[in-house]
Structure 1
C-alpha cells in the first residue's frame, strides 16, 4: 500500500526537499497551506478529510524568522505557528483514522545561549527572550490535549543546510571577500527591545559562538528513523553530533568557494547591516550548542556528520545545477 504523507507548510526549502524525496519513493504527498493545493488553513473540515487515514503528518508551517522583530512581525511569527498547530490538532482529533505519527517543527533556539556545555534533550536548559517564548508556546500547543491514536514528536531543528538554505547568502558573502567571522560585542539596548525580548546580549567573542547545524538529507533520514521507532515521542534534537562555531564555519565556507581570506563583521557592522536587511543579529550571534542525544543513543547514523564534508557536498551540488 502506498504511504500517504501530509505536509503542512511545504512551500519552504525543507518542505520541498521532503516532498520531492517522498514522491520519488512512490508515496502520495498532500500539502496544506495558505493556498492549498490540497487543503487550506481555516478549512478545518477539509484538513480533517485529508488527514483521515494518512500515515504521517509533518508540520513545518510558520512565518520565516529572517525578518525584523517589530510588533507586527512578532505577532505573525507567533500566530503562524501556534494557530496552525492548534488547527491541525483539532483536525487530528476529529479523524476516524488519525495519522499514527505527527512530527511538528520546533527549533533548537529554544535552548539558552550556550558557551559552557552542549544542550541535549535531557540536560538542556531553556533560554529567555522572544524566540524562546515562540518555541515554548509552539511546543505547548503541540502537546496539549489527548490524541490517543497519534504519536507526537517535536523536532527541535538546528540550522538546516542544503542547496537553497541559509548557507547560500553566506557563500555569496564569502565569494566577494566578506566571509570572515561574525564578531559579538557591546551594543546599547532600547527599552522597547528589552521589553520585547529581542535584544541580543553580548556573548562569546572572536566568532566563537557555537554553530549547530544539520544537513537537509539528515532531516529526511531522522524522520525515516523516527517512523521506525514507535517508542520515541516528546522532543528530539535534529542537529549534527558535531557542532562547529562561527569562525570555523566561515573558514569552511571560504575554502569551499576558493576564497582564502574574508573580512570579519563586528557587532556595530552587524547591527547596521541587519537593520538595512530587515533581519536580526541574534540569528548569527546567539551561541547554539545543541547535540542530538536521542538520535545518537538510538543508533541513527548521520549521512553528513561533519560540516566540512557537508558544505563541500552542497557547493558541488550547486555547481552541478
Structure 2
C-alpha cells in the first residue's frame, strides 16, 4: 500500500485521483480547504503528511474560469505560487520526503499556435497574464534543491471527463449553440492591454487549435511517470490527436445527436463572457500542444483521438466521421 498525498483534492481532477487511489487500496491524505487532512495554514500538519509519503500530487489553484479583474488575477497567481512554495518548504524539511512530486502546470504556457504544435523541446512560450502565471508557477516549483525528490511539472491541456468543461459544452450543444466559436476583432481598453488579458484576433472560422486530454490519461501519465525514475522536468500532458474548435463542436454534436449548430461569433462570445464573468481567451486562444516527451518515453494513450474520448465520456458510441459540419 502506498501513501499518496493530494493537494487541491477538491477539484475535478483531484476528486478523480483520490477515488482512483483509494479504490486501489492506497492510503490517500489531502491538503487543502474544508475537510482536508491538513489545511494550507498548518505547516506542521503538512510536514507530518509528507514525511514518509510515496508520492505528492499538487493540483491546487483557483479556477481561471472567471473575469480577470485585478483581485482575481492576484488570487489566481497567489493560489498557485504560495501553495507550491509551501509544499516545497515542507518537502525540504522532512526526514523522508516523497520520492516524486507531481505539480500541476498548464499547456497555456505556450504561445497562440496555428502553425505547428508546441513540444517541450521546440515549443515557444507566450506572453500575457495567463502565460506569466504559468511561468511563475513552474519557477516556484523547480526552485531550490530537493535532492531526495524528483519533480515533474504536468503541462495539462484541457482535461475532458465526466464533469469539468464537458458540462457547459454539452449545454451549449443541446441548446442549439453547438457550432464553432468564431474569433474576430474586438476593441480593448488600455487597462486590459496593460494587464495582459486581451485576446488578440487570431484563427479564423473556428479553426483555433484545441489540445485536450482524457481524464483517464492524466491519471495514466502520472502512474507511468511515477514508475520512471529517469524522467523529470516538464511534460506536456495532451492527447496526440489535437483537434480544432470547429471539429470539437461537430464531434460533440454528433455524439449527442444534436443537429442544430448555430455558431457563436466574437461579439456574442464577448457579451456572453462578460455576463457569466469569464474570459473569451479560454475558447479563442489556439492551443496546439504535442506530448513529445511522453510518447518518446513509451507512454501509450488510452484515448489518443477525440471522437472515441467523447463517446466514452458521454456514454455513447463514437460518432461517424462522414457527417459534414
**Quick check: TM above 0.5?**
yes
Residue 39 of structure 1 aligns with which residue? 38
Q: How far has the Cα of 1:45 moved from its partner? A: 1.1
Tell me the secondary structure at the aligned position of residue 102 of structure 2.
strand
Deviation at 1:243, TM superposition (A): 0.3
What's the counterpart of residue 264 of structure 1? Answer: 263
Q: How far did residue 260 of structure 1 move?
A: 1.7
User: Aligned pairs, how many?
Assistant: 316
Take 1:146 and 1:42, find their aligned partners in 2: how far apart are those partners?
23
Aligned to 2:164: 165
Q: How does 1:189-204 map to 2 (within 5 A)?
A: 189-204=188-203
Q: 1: distance between equivalents of 2:223 and 2:200?
A: 38
Q: Which runs of 5+ in 2 are unaligned?
A: 317-325
Aligned to 2:320: none
The residue number in structure 1 matching 2:229 is: 230
Match of 1:124 in 2: 123
How far apart, CA to CA, are the structure 1 residues paired with 2:175 and 2:73? Answer: 33
Task: Provide the alpha-carbon RMSD of the alignment.
Answer: 0.7
User: Where does residue 294 of structure 1 map in the other structure?
Assistant: 293
Cα offsets for 1:150-184 (capped at 9, x unmatched): 00010000000000120111111101111000000
Alpha-carbon distance, 1:266 to partner: 0.3
Question: Which residue in the other structure is 2:180 paired with?
Answer: 181
Give the secondary structure class of the aligned counterpart of 1:15.
helix
Summarize deviations over 1:44-77 as a string: whole Å, max 9, x none. Answer: 1110010000000000000000000000000000
* 1:103 match: secondary structure: strand
Question: Normalized against structure 1, the TM-score is what?
Answer: 0.98
Matches of 1:154 and 1:36, distance apart in 2: 26
2: CA distance, partners of 1:70 / 1:266: 24
What pairs up with 1:1-321 in 2 under 5 angstroms? 2-316=1-315
**Partner Cα separation in structure 2 for residue 109 and residue 11 of structure 1:** 22
Unaligned stretches of 5+ residues in structure 1: none
Three-state SS of the structure 1 residue aligned to 2:56 is strand
Q: For residue 322 of structure 2, what is the aligned residue in structure 1?
A: none
Runs of 4 or more consecutive aligned structure 1 residues displaced over 6 Å after TM superposition:
none
In the TM superposition, what whole-angstrom CA distance separates every residue of 1:95-134 from its partner, at most 9, and x where no partner exists? 1000000000000000000000000000000000000010
Query: 1:252 is paired with a residue of what secondary structure?
Result: helix
TM-score by length of 2: 0.96
Query: Deviation at 1:36?
Result: 4.4
